[in-house]
Amino acid sequence: MRKAVIYGTGSYYEQNGGRLPKDLEIVAYVDSSIKNATSHTGELFRGLPVLLPEELGTVIYDVVYICTDYAAGNRIFQKLSVLGIGSDRIFFLNRMESSIDWKYVATGDRKGYLSTIDGITIKERYLTDFDIVNEVLINRSYGFGFGESESIVIDVGMNVGIASLYFANQPRVKKVYGFEAFPDTYEQAVANIALNQPGIGDKIVAMNFALSDENGKKMVAVSAEETGWRDIFSRDESKRQVEIVCRDAGEAVGEILNRHTEKIVLKVDTEGAEFSIFAALDKAGCFEKIDVIMMEYHGDPEKLCSVLKKYGYQYFIQGKKTICGLIHAVK
């Protein structure tokens, strides 16, 4: 039997702990969150002590099993690494059902974690990258509407390329067109695409401009570490200002639609710009040729839903209706 410390005493562990390997003898638990540290640390959980990470040296163990969601698990991995615990002793409960290889890498000043998940390789540099990997590759939030037909995917808000790679890895997807507004995020996407096998990466056409309801350039405020949540309408003067190029969505998407007769899948995640993008696509009549839509919305989705109804889509919404969520739509 391997002596194990379980990192995480919350709802994820309560719901999934039964999937732990049967050869483990649990000797202690770790919980570093303020809330749980107050309620558990220094007490007993299931009859065993609950420790802070810094107290791991007080027990004898062979392995640590991280029992949290993917994004939190990556943060915990970093903390354990800083404490000198080798990666060969750290395991993840939430990765037992996927083929995942994960290691720390550093090239110059570009440090990060190189993840290979079900055949897709990504370099995660920021905490938001972990969240996107969890959403797209672990929870498969865009695994909708492909079926058996050959498909073309238009990825609006490509970010660091995670969703584009997921789409390109689908056997019936023939081509992925990715649009990313921010130059540094675009460069990270191109680097991630290059990490993958030609049969995946070669399917992706990456473009460094934003889609909007007009052509031109805009100055926008960005945070260096928030690649996943950049808003092209932001005017926060405390952040770095970056110039981005915008193209009319109706024109840019229309050019793609005119090249293809396959099923068209549209994915949109643009942190609020989806309303202007939808208006431009509607004006150009692009929705006549788009079969499936998967998108995040930010704000009241009623205007988006009225467009979907106009073109005969069946759709459902996940999330808080007037704040943010996901819309899946199909004709």
**Average pLDDT value for residue range 151-176:** 96
Q: What pLDDT score does 235 carry?
A: 45
150 and 81, same structural domain?
no
In a domain, 206, yes or no: yes
Q: What is the DSSP letter of 148?
A: T
**Average pLDDT value for residue range 198-211:** 96
- 206-215, 240-249, 317-326: range with highest mean pLDDT: 206-215
Residues contacting residue 107 through CB under 8 Å, at least 6 positions apart: none
Q: Among 71-75, 176-180, 209-213, 265-269, which is the least confidently predicted range?
A: 71-75
Rounded (5°) CA angle 111-123-204 = 140
In a domain, 136, yes or no: no
pLDDT tens digits along 177-197: 999 999 989 999 999 999 999
CATH code at position 228: 3.40.50.150
Q: What pLDDT score does 232 carry?
A: 38
pLDDT tens digits along 10-48: 888 888 888 888 899 999 999 876 445 555 666 788 899
22 and 79, same structural domain?
yes
> Residues of the chain with pLDDT > 90: what percent?
52
In a domain, 196, yes or no: yes
Q: Number of folded domains in the chain? A: 2
Q: Considering only CA atoms, give the Rg of the chain.
A: 22
177 and 72, same structural domain?
no
72 and 189, same structural domain?
no
CATH code at position 32: 3.40.50.720
Domain boundary among 34, 64, 97: 97
In a domain, 121, yes or no: no
Q: What is the DSSP letter of 299?
A: S
178 and 67, same structural domain?
no
Phi-psi region for residue 108, left (φ > 0), alpha (ψ -120 to 50) or beta?
left
188 and 82, same structural domain?
no
Q: Is the pLDDT of residue 225 over 60?
A: no
Q: Sorting pLDDT into bands at 50, 70 and 90, what band is 105?
A: low
185 and 313, same structural domain?
yes
**Average pLDDT value for residue range 161-188:** 95
**Average pLDDT value for residue range 234-259:** 84
Contact 146/331 with Cβ under 8 angstroms? no
Q: Is the pLDDT of residue 97 over 50?
A: no
Neighbours of 10 (CB within 10 A): 16
Range of the domain at 257: 142-330
322 and 219, same structural domain?
yes
Kindly state the helix (H) or strand (E) to which residue 80 belongs, with its residue range: helix 70-82
Cα→Cα distances 245→18, 78, 96, 216, Å? 50, 36, 42, 6
Q: What pLDDT score does 311 carry?
A: 97
Domain boundary among 40, 75, 97: 97
In a domain, 255, yes or no: yes
83 and 166, same structural domain?
no
Instruction: For 17-36, give one letter per residue: b (16+ CB within 10 A) or e.
Output: beebeeebebebbbbbeeeb
Contact 141/125 with Cβ under 8 angstroms? no
Residues contacting residue 288 through CB under 8 Å, at least 6 positions apart: 311
Q: What pLDDT score does 297 carry?
A: 93
In a domain, 102, yes or no: no
Q: What pLDDT score does 41 carry?
A: 60
Domain boundary among 62, 97, 132: 97
289 and 147, same structural domain?
yes
226 and 90, same structural domain?
no
In a domain, 197, yes or no: yes
Q: What pLDDT score does 296 carry?
A: 93
Average pLDDT across the chain, whole number: 85
In a domain, 271, yes or no: yes
